[in-house]
Amino acid sequence: MIQVSNLSFGPAANPILQGIDAEIPAGRVTALIGPNGAGKSTLLKLIARQLTASSGRIRMDGMDLAQTVPAQLACKMAVVAQHLSVASRVRVRDLIGFGRWPHSAGRLGVADHAAIANAVELFDLGDLQTRFLDELSGGQRQRAFIAMAYVQDTDWLLLDEPLNNLDLHHARNLMAQLRHLTELQGRGIVIVVHDLNYAISWSDHVVALRDGKVAFQGPVAAAATAERLSALYQTPVAITRLGGQPFAQYHR
Amino acid sequence: MADRRLIALGCLLAAAAALFLFWGLRGPTAYILELRLVKLAALLAVGASAGVATVLFQTISQNRILTPSIMGFDALFLLLQTGLVAGLGAAGASRISGLPGFALETAVMLGAALVLFTSLLGRTRHDIQLMVLAGVVLGVMFRTLTVFLQRLMEPSEFTMVEARMFAQFSGIDRSALMAGLGLMALAGLWLVRNHQVLDVAALGRTPARSLGVAYDGLQLRVLCLIAALVSVATALVGPLAFLGLLVTSLAHSLMQSHRHALLLPAAALIGALILVSGQTVFERLLHLQSTLAVVIEFCGGLLFLVLLVKGKIR
Ligand SMILES: Nc1ncnc2c1ncn2[C@@H]1O[C@H](COP(=O)(O)OP(=O)(O)OP(=O)(O)O)[C@@H](O)[C@H]1O
Ligand SMILES: [Mg+2]
Q: What is the DSSP letter of A34?
A: -
Q: What is the pLDDT of residue A128?
A: 93
Give the rounded distance of the alpha carbon of B218 from its chain centre: 20
pLDDT score at B177: 84
Tell me, in angstroms, the distance from the centre of ligand 1 to residue A43's CA.
10
Q: Whose CA is nearest to atom 27 of ligand 1?
A: A36
For B196-217, b/e burial (b = at least 16 CB within 10 A) is: bbbbbbbbbbbbbbbbbbebee
CA torsion angle B216 B221 B225 B230 (round to 10): 40
Q: Using the beta-carbon criterion (under 8 Å), do B204 and A79 form an inter-chain contact? A: no
A99: nearest CA partner in chain B: B211
Q: What are the percentages of helix, strand and coil residues in chain B, rounded to 5? A: 80, 0, 20
Q: What percent of chain A has pLDDT over 90?
A: 75
Whether the CB of A49 is below 8 Å from some CB of chain B: the reply is yes
Q: What is the value of pTM for the model shown?
A: 0.86
Give me the pLDDT at residue B314, please: 45
Instruction: Establish whether residue A16 lines the binding site of ligand 1, counting it when its CB lies within 6 angstroms of any ligand atom.
Output: yes
Please tell me the number of the ligand nearest to residue A207's CA. 1
Q: Could B210 and A74 be called an inter-chain contact, meaning their C-beta atoms sit closer than 8 Å?
A: yes
Q: Is the ipTM of this complex over 0.90?
A: no
Q: For residues B36 and B314, give the distance between their C-alpha atoms in angstroms, rounded to a whole number.
A: 39
CATH number at residue B304: 1.10.3470.10
What DSSP designation does B28 have? Answer: S
- Residue A200, ligand 1, Cβ within 6 A: no
Question: Looking at beta carbons, which residues of chain B come within 8 Å of A50?
Answer: 206, 209-210
Beta carbons of A190 and A158 less than 8 angstroms apart: yes
Per-residue pLDDT of chain B (314 residues; tens, 9 = 90+): 578 899 999 999 999 898 888 887 787 888 888 888 888 998 899 999 999 999 998 888 887 777 888 778 778 878 887 887 777 776 776 666 667 777 777 788 788 778 877 777 666 666 666 777 777 888 888 888 888 888 887 777 777 777 666 666 666 777 778 888 988 999 999 999 999 999 999 988 888 988 999 888 888 888 889 888 888 888 787 777 788 888 988 898 888 888 999 999 999 999 999 888 888 888 777 777 666 777 777 787 888 778 777 765 44
**Nearest listed ligand to the Cα of residue A17:** 1
Helix (H, G, I), strand (E, B) or coil at B171: coil
Contacts of A158 in chain B (CB under 8 A): none
Q: Which ligand is nearest to the CA of A82?
A: 2
Residue A38 Cα: closest atom of ligand 1: 21
Name the residue among B197, B202, B214 with its Cβ closest to that of A87: B202
Ligand 1 atom 19: the closest Cα is on which residue? A37
Nearest alpha carbon, ligand 1 atom 28: A37
A117 touching chain B per CB within 8 A:
no
Rounded-to-integer distance, Cα A137 and Cα B208, Å: 23
Q: Per the CB < 8 Å rule, is B202 touching A88?
A: yes
Q: What is the pLDDT at residue A160? A: 94
User: Which residues make beta-bridge pairs with A3?
Assistant: A23, A59
Helices and strands (DSSP H and E) totals, chain A = 10, 12
pLDDT, averaged across chain B: 82
Q: Give the per-residue pLDDT at B262.
A: 93
CATH 3.30.70.100 fits A1-76+155-224, yes or no: no
Q: Are B90 and B154 in contact (CB under 8 A)?
A: yes
By C-alpha distance, the chain A residue nearest B60 is: A87
CB of A69 within 8 Å of any CB in chain B? yes
CB nearest to A70's CB, from B59, B63, B214? B214
Number of domain units in chain B: 1
Is B300 a domain residue?
yes
Instruction: Give yes or no for residue A42 CB within 6 A of ligand 1.
Output: yes
Residue ranges in A48-154 assigned as alpha helix (H)? 70-74, 92-98, 101-104, 110-122, 138-151
Q: Do A101 and B214 touch (CB under 8 A)?
A: no
Which H helix or E strand runs over A57?
strand A55-60
Q: Nearest residue on chain B to A154, judged by CA atoms?
A: B211
- Asked if A221 has any chain B CB less than 8 Å from its own CB, the reply is no
Tell me the pLDDT band of A94, cut-offs 50, 70 and 90.
very high
Q: Which residue of A has its CA nearest to B55?
A: A88
Q: How far apart are CA A146 and CA A233, in angstroms?
A: 28
**Quick check: B258 and A89 CB within 8 A?**
yes
- Chain B interface residues (partner A, CB cutoff 8 A): 59, 62-63, 196-197, 199-200, 202-204, 206-207, 209-215, 258, 314
Residue A207 near ligand 1, beta carbon < 6 Å: no
B125 to chain A: closest CA residue? A87
Q: How far is the CA of A206 from the centre of ligand 1 (A)?
A: 20
Mean pLDDT estimate for chain A: 92
Residue B233 lies in a domain: yes
Other CB atoms within a 10 A radius of the CB of residue A109 amount to: 11
Range of the domain at B93: 4-309
Establish if B165 belongs to a structural domain.
yes
- Domains of chain A by residue range: 1-76+155-224, 78-153
Judge whether B202 lies within some domain.
yes
A40 CB less than 6 Å from ligand 1? yes
Using a 6 Å cutoff on CB, does residue A37 contact ligand 1?
yes
Q: For residue B314, is it within any domain?
A: no
